[in-house]
Each structure stands twice: as C-alpha cells, then as structure tokens.
Amino acid sequence: MNASPSLPSRLHHTAAVTRDLEATRHFYEDLLGLPLIATWCEKETLLGKMRTYCHAFFGIGDGGALAFFQFADAADHEELAPDMPFCLFQHQAYKVDADTQAAIKARVLAAGYEEPRFMELEHGYCHSIYITDPNGCIIEFTVDSQDGLDIAPARRASAHGDLKRWLAGDHTPNNVLR
C-alpha cells in the first residue's frame, strides 16, 4: 500500500493586491468581522527593482489569514497586479456557522451592499452568501446543510467516477439535494 502524502493542515493565507488598504481594512474588519492581525511594511528588491509595499493580514478562525498588498508606487501595482475582473467562479470560500453567516449578512446589507456585490445561493448541500470586496475579490461564506454532511461520504466514494463520467460527456447532474 502506498502512503498518501500529507494534506495541508489549514489555509495559511491567501494574498491579493489592493489599491486602497483602508477600504480593504474597513470591509474585512468592520463589515466581515475578520480582525487585522498583522501589518508588515516592506522595502525589498522584487523582480529586479526596489519596491515599497504594505502587507496586511486579516485573521480567520483556524489561524489562517487573508492578506492584501498595497504598493507605494502605482507603477509597481500596474506591473505586478494589473486590474483584472473577477467572476463568481473565482472566489475564496470559508466555512462558517449559521449565526456567523447571519451576522456577516446583516452588517453587509446594512452597509448598502446589494446585487451584484451581494448574492445569496442555496446549493442544497450548503447555503452561501457571496460578497464582492472593494478590490473585486469575491468572498463566499458557506454553511453546510445536514443533508450535505450526510451525503458527503457517498460523494467522496463516487468522486472519481463522477468526474470521469462528466469528462466523457455525460453531464447529468448528481446534486440530489437541489
């Protein structure tokens, strides 16, 4: 029997670039409730040029973080992180409990977020809210349903076969919870 490789224990951090760290701080800390846990102000040679930037980290419950860079020089931003539109399928998703999701939803709606910056979807196996941050990044907060948790072992067991079937052209849905 082959030993399987170890899986990462948790998310350490994700990183994105922002043009406005204060707007980003307000969104993540004040609206979503993720505390600012570290700010690193840096000046170093990156890709052959001295660059000055700030790197702010917002904590999540498992010890991981969301991190954002802001460059002091707009030319560095254009070179290293040109603005690209995000879409719903490019997002970060975080598991939360129902009370946490409800509190985030209330704060975001009270702050005036509405479609397309706020969206709510019932997937059957989970219920999600999607919020677009000031940088165009989409953040999902999801609550697993009991049905989703109950069916998870069956999904795990059929995952390879389902993928093979789908790639072969059989696009029949397998979400019986929706």
Domain ranges of the chain: 9-83, 85-169
List of residues 6+ apart from 159 with CB closer than 8 A:
none
The whole-number pLDDT of residue 120 equals 93
Q: What is the DSSP letter of 147?
A: H
Q: Identify the CATH homologous superfamily for domain 9-83.
A: 2,3-Dihydroxybiphenyl 1,2-Dioxygenase, domain 1 (3.10.180.10)
The CATH code for residues 85-169 is 3.10.180.10
CA dist., res. 126 & res. 60, Å (int): 20
The whole-number pLDDT of residue 14 equals 86
The whole-number pLDDT of residue 22 equals 93
- Asked if domains 9-83 and 85-169 share a fold, the reply is yes
Question: Tens place of pLDDT for every residue, the chain, 178 residues?
Answer: 455 566 667 777 888 888 899 999 999 999 999 999 888 888 888 888 988 899 899 999 998 889 888 899 999 988 887 666 656 556 788 888 899 999 999 999 999 998 888 999 888 888 999 999 988 888 889 888 887 778 878 878 888 888 888 888 888 888 777 6
